[in-house]
Amino acid sequence: MRTAKEDIATIGEYGVWEDERDPLLNACVLLVMYAKGRHKPTMNLHRLANALEEGDMPKAQKFYDRLSAEVASTLKKYPDIVETLDTMSQLSDEDMERIDEVMRDPSVSDD
């Protein structure tokens, strides 16, 4: 089974996310990183990625809708993540590019 990070990347390869500012993408990433285990949307991410790989678009739409509903419901439990998402939505393209550059820099640690 893929990791949530791999599922997010797979979903991106199929063009589901609008771009790096896609609100559902960002919410999924933050929930996977910071939510308690039972609140992480890993199963719906995995099912969506699998449906896309199988080419089953009705099934993919079903799991996209489930993922979206799950994330919307879960975010109510994490006001700090909602605040982060609000801040992210206000960043300029230049700010996002700088963040992306830093995140891609191999000298930056994940710790």
User: Does residue 51 register a pLDDT over 80?
Assistant: yes
The two structure tokens encoding residue 72:
């919307």
Q: Give the whole-angstrom CA distance, residue 6 versus residue 64.
A: 16
Q: What is the pLDDT of residue 109?
A: 55
- On the question of pLDDT at 108 being above 80, the answer is no
Mind listing the pLDDT tens digit for each residue in 10-49?
A: 999 999 998 888 999 999 999 999 999 999 999 999 999 9
**Cα separation values, 90 from 24, 27, 31, 66, 99, Å:** 15, 15, 19, 27, 14
Task: Tell which wins on pLDDT, 110 or 60.
Answer: 60
pTM: 0.82
